[in-house]
Structure 1
């Protein structure tokens, strides 16, 4: 009898542990903002302009990074050939370019953040979009919503079951 009580208590304890673990699962959703912007093309013009600027900034950052990598390769080649003075000059150039790249990245990111903040405070479409995303996510039980196309955020895998883009569009149409 004592063994049965211990076994039953163990089963209840394990069941409670699994139940507690199941309640702590975070549900994540993704939204394709580009699809929403295309669906609401006229309303999203200011957001798309910011996204285009962000893309141009990324391209410039990539170009500057390639220049720095090229200078590093040249510097290493000069050191291997024994031309240490030219290698030192290239190293100085690299330091200047790296500093410029860091400043450029910081300034451009600040500009984009500020534009997006201002837009989210003044643009009715943006406010409505984010309120709708929040409403759909809360109604569906999601605790985190990610942009599925944001190049700054790498999503390695997601199920189409968590994509709430169409539901957000539907909610926006009903408003």
Structure 2
């Protein structure tokens, strides 16, 4: 009889302790994916993507030219034509400097476009309201953005609410 009372007492105490435990539920959201999905059909995003592709094509073209010049320089050196190799090296340096400046300029331009798209107040008000509603309904204690990767070392897919946010924004 004492064993039954002891067992029931331990069961009661452990149940009471477990009931008092607060289990923190953390949610994560891929805001970049939400943004891309939500805005993918907008003209501004299509313009941004088009500009990005044009920029990449120019960089690829310039990189191919630089590789071609490197091959020419190597051939000149192989044939003992030091003067032509030096001229080609000068041309390579000029084109490399231009490519670096072009890349810096275009990246700044693309970043400005992306920031302008991302800074839509209406979008963010809607996004935060939806995140708040989903978090409260789902019992989440905190929602973290995946873009701040240094704050998340691991997460379970079961706490990712990205798809719910996208579906709510689309409605």
**Coarse TM-score class (shorter-chain normalised):** 0.5 to 0.7
In structure 2, do the counterparts of structure 1 residues 71 and 137 end up closer, same or farther at CA, with 3 Å as the change threshold? farther
Matched, 1:172 2:169: yes
> 1:38-76: CA deviations, max 9, x gaps?
4xx2xx221221122112111211111111111111101
Alpha-carbon distance between aligned partners in 1 of 2:170 and 2:87, rounded to the nearest angstrom: 60
Greater RCO (CA < 8 Å, at least 6 residues apart): 2
Q: 1:100 aligns with which of 98, 104, 108?
A: 98
Moved more, 53-62 or 90-99: 53-62
Q: Say what the alpha-carbon RMSD is for the aligned residues.
A: 3.6
Instruction: Determine if contact 1:78/1:86 at 8 Å carries over to the other structure.
Output: yes
Equivalence for 2:146: 145
Instruction: Determine if contact 1:75/1:87 at 8 Å carries over to the other structure.
Output: yes
Alpha-carbon distance between aligned partners in 2 of 1:108 and 1:167, rounded to the nearest angstrom: 34
In structure 2, do the counterparts of structure 1 residues 28 and 117 end up closer, same or farther at CA, with 3 Å as the change threshold? same
Instruction: Determine if contact 1:36/1:169 at 8 Å carries over to the other structure.
Output: yes
Q: Secondary structure of 2:146's partner?
A: strand
In structure 2, do the counterparts of structure 1 residues 119 and 81 end up closer, same or farther at CA, with 3 Å as the change threshold? same
- Number of residue pairs matched by the alignment: 134
Taking structure 1 as the reference length, the TM-score comes to 0.58
Map 1:39-58 → 2, pairs under 5 A: 41=41, 44-58=42-56
Runs of 5+ unmatched residues, structure 1: 1-22, 147-158
Map 1:35-114 → 2, pairs under 5 A: 35-38=37-40, 41=41, 44-114=42-112
Shift of 1:132: 7.1
Instruction: Determine if contact 2:28/2:160 at 8 Å carries over to the other structure.
Output: no
**After TM superposition, where is structure 1 displaced by more than 4 Å over at least 4 residues in a row?**
26-31, 128-142, 159-165
Instruction: Determine if contact 2:73/2:85 at 8 Å carries over to the other structure.
Output: yes
Runs of 5+ unmatched residues, structure 2: 1-23, 148-155
Shift of 1:169: 1.6
> 1:67-100: CA deviations, max 9, x gaps?
1111111101110111111111110000000011
